[in-house]
Amino acid sequence: MREALIVWCGWAKHEPEQCAAVVGDLLRADGFQVRVETSTEAFADPALAGMSLIVPICTMAKIAKEEVDNLTQAVLAGAGLGGFHGGMGDAFREAVDYQFMTGGQWVAHPGNIIDYRVNLVRGDTITEGIDDFDYRSEQYYMHVDPSNEVLATTRFSGEHAPWIEGVVMPVAWKRRHGLGKVFYSSLGHAAKEFEVAPMRKLLSRGLRWAARA
């Protein structure tokens, strides 16, 4: 059975514990054995390298050097990494090795909670059969790696920051990091958002793709 590790910590307003419970249920439904930890100390565990999938839910948390070194080495060796919103895309701001691995970093969400459109990129099994959809949440503006394989995008209207009007921003992507596979989606500010079926399906498929077989 594939093993997944979920580590939740960090900023409470992103509901890390509640989101970890939802993601844990998603992974169990896909046949994973799920372990849940609540401290970044879990990233220093030598057993990390044997995990099929690692899911950080750690918005604005700090990580020790030995922890991030062990985490990145595990992914380089083949462990999968997957996550969403600030839990993965705004974790460990000072750890550039982590950002190099994840492929992006949150920098703004103009207008805070707003309505916007998510557009799926066709031709990938992760997005197959998922239609473009409307979404209400923080619309993440991110600094992203040009080597990402983009799976979904959103367009900024400029209403809340006129100088970015028309900017098309990646919402979800996949990438390789050494022998490991990495998936990220910027959707999922609060646990209730997982009730949006296409958002949930995109994340579930992405995590399944990232996991080592």
Q: Between the CA of residue 206 and those of 126, 173, 192, what are the distances in Å?
A: 6, 9, 19
Q: What is the DSSP letter of 159?
A: S
Residue 77: count other Cβ atoms within 10 Å of its Cβ: 14
pLDDT at 1: 87
Task: Tell me whether strands 133-138 and 80-84 are parallel, antiparallel or unpaired.
Answer: unpaired
What does the DSSP 8-state code read for residue 122?
S
- What pTM did the predictor assign? 0.98
What is the per-residue pLDDT for 42?
Answer: 98
**Residue 64, CB-side half-sphere exposure with 13 Å CA sphere:** 10
Q: Report the pLDDT value the prediction gives residue 58, as an integer from 0 to 100.
A: 98
pLDDT per position in the chain (213 positions), as tens? Answer: 899 999 999 999 999 999 999 999 999 999 999 999 999 999 999 999 999 999 999 999 999 999 999 999 999 999 999 999 999 999 999 999 999 999 999 999 999 999 999 999 999 999 999 999 999 999 999 999 999 999 999 999 999 999 999 999 999 999 999 999 999 999 999 999 999 999 999 999 999 999 998
- Asked whether 120 and 151 are in contact (CB, 8 A), the reply is yes
Structural domains of the chain sorted by starting position, each given as residue range(s) with its CATH number in brackets: 3-210 (3.40.50.880)
DSSP 161-208: -GGGTT-EEEEEEEEEETTEEEEEE---SSGGGGGSHHHHHHHHHHHH
Evaluated on CA atoms 195, 89, 51, 210, the torsion sign reads positive
Q: What pLDDT score was predicted for residue 63? A: 98
| Alpha-carbon 89 to chain mean position | 6
